[in-house]
Copies of this chain bind each other. A is one copy, B any other.
């Protein structure tokens, strides 16, 4: 059996009891470690499960999935995924490959950022499609997210923006020389995301949102040091220190809001008077 086991969002104790049993007893355990990360290290997980864990990087999962699936028709293999196993496309591929090989698959769900973000106080019913934000470079500033945010905003819905992480990256020079030297991991912050969003609005000028649009910055959702900061996109450009260490996410508010959402989120506002003023003018009763 191939078990896809969700690890939840934060530390080693966010695994479910059912998932932990599988992680302890499976023949082999892989940890998918490139679409998201836990806030604890591999060593912590290994000590918690009482066994070694193999890191499965993108290359392994995408090009060498048969190694992961080896003998899984006869024994149990656990593939651990941060959050919920079905958050990312890659794992769909793995399941399809297992099916081709006649390997039974079972998944153990867990918290995903897509539901965990509810802790910020916005109603999950009022979220539209989720978008991703990648690190912009000089020549590459993809703005397809902007069209999707526009679709959500046009019908009043909130948008969860998932932020890029870069792990096991090679510099161009090291790649050219074939040196397996990796750059330190990078995690996009709420401030970087808010700035990039405002840059794209300045380019596209369709008025999908602006510096005074309300948003929530989220850090370490589901963890003991979970932190939310609410404010305008402009305000959120400058809140990275308050938010602290990774992972960060951002929610851009839609205008179809509920009074309870106002009351709940206001607690996190950088500037409550400003929050109330903009809410009243642009969001309330829209």
Q: Chain A: residues with CB nearer than 8 A to chain B?
A: 6, 8-9, 11-18, 20-21, 83-87, 89, 92-93, 95-96, 99, 106-112, 114-116, 118-119, 121, 123-132, 151, 155, 157, 221-222, 224, 258, 260-261, 263-264, 267
What residue in chain B is nearest A131 (Cβ atoms)?
B125
- Count copies of this chain in the complex: 2
**Beyond known contacts A87-B118, A89-B123, A89-B258: 8 more, CB 8 A cutoff:** A14-B109, A96-B260, A107-B222, A109-B119, A111-B112, A124-B130, A125-B131, A128-B157
With a CB–CB cut-off of 8 A, which chain B residues contact A21?
Answer: 13
Whole-angstrom distance between the alpha carbons of A38 and B118 in the complex?
Answer: 20
With a CB–CB cut-off of 8 A, which chain B residues contact A15?
Answer: 16-17
Q: Please determine whether A13 and B17 come into contact, CB atoms closer than 8 angstroms.
A: yes
Whole-angstrom distance between the alpha carbons of A268 and B224 in the complex?
Answer: 40
With a CB–CB cut-off of 8 A, which chain B residues contact A118?
Answer: 84-87, 112
With a CB–CB cut-off of 8 A, which chain B residues contact A108?
Answer: 14, 222
Q: Closest CB-CB distance, A155 to chain B, in whole Å?
A: 5
With a CB–CB cut-off of 8 A, which chain B residues contact A16?
Answer: 8, 13-17, 110-111
- Within the complex, which residue of B11, B17, B112 is in contact with A115, where a contact is CB–CB below 8 Å? B112
Q: Closest CB-CB distance, A96 to chain B, in whole Å?
A: 6
Q: Please determine whether B114 and A114 come into contact, CB atoms closer than 8 angstroms.
A: yes
Q: Please determine whether B129 and A115 come into contact, CB atoms closer than 8 angstroms.
A: no
- Within the complex, which residue of B17, B99, B115 is in contact with A87, where a contact is CB–CB below 8 Å? B115
Q: Please determine whether B99 and A84 come into contact, CB atoms closer than 8 angstroms.
A: no
Whole-angstrom distance between the alpha carbons of A17 and B221 in the complex?
Answer: 17
Q: Please determine whether B114 and A111 come into contact, CB atoms closer than 8 angstroms.
A: no
Q: Please determine whether A264 and B111 come into contact, CB atoms closer than 8 angstroms.
A: no
With a CB–CB cut-off of 8 A, which chain B residues contact A18?
Answer: 11, 13-14
Q: Please determine whether B17 and A264 come into contact, CB atoms closer than 8 angstroms.
A: no
- Within the complex, which residue of B17, B128, B221 is in contact with A128, where a contact is CB–CB below 8 Å? B128
Whole-angstrom distance between the alpha carbons of A132 and B125 in the complex?
Answer: 9
With a CB–CB cut-off of 8 A, which chain B residues contact A131?
Answer: 125
Whole-angstrom distance between the alpha carbons of A119 and B86 in the complex?
Answer: 6
Q: Please determine whether A84 and B13 come into contact, CB atoms closer than 8 angstroms.
A: no
Q: Closest CB-CB distance, A260 to chain B, in whole Å?
A: 5
Whole-angstrom distance between the alpha carbons of A85 and B96 in the complex?
Answer: 32
Q: Please determine whether B110 and A124 come into contact, CB atoms closer than 8 angstroms.
A: no
- A17-B17, A84-B116, A118-B84 are contacts. A109–B9 as well, Cβ < 8 Å? yes
Whole-angstrom distance between the alpha carbons of A16 and B130 in the complex?
Answer: 25
Whole-angstrom distance between the alpha carbons of A264 and B116 in the complex?
Answer: 26
Whole-angstrom distance between the alpha carbons of A84 and B84 in the complex?
Answer: 12
- Within the complex, which residue of B109, B119, B155, B264 is in contact with A151, where a contact is CB–CB below 8 Å? B155
Q: Please determine whether B13 and A86 come into contact, CB atoms closer than 8 angstroms.
A: no
Q: Closest CB-CB distance, A100 to chain B, in whole Å?
A: 10
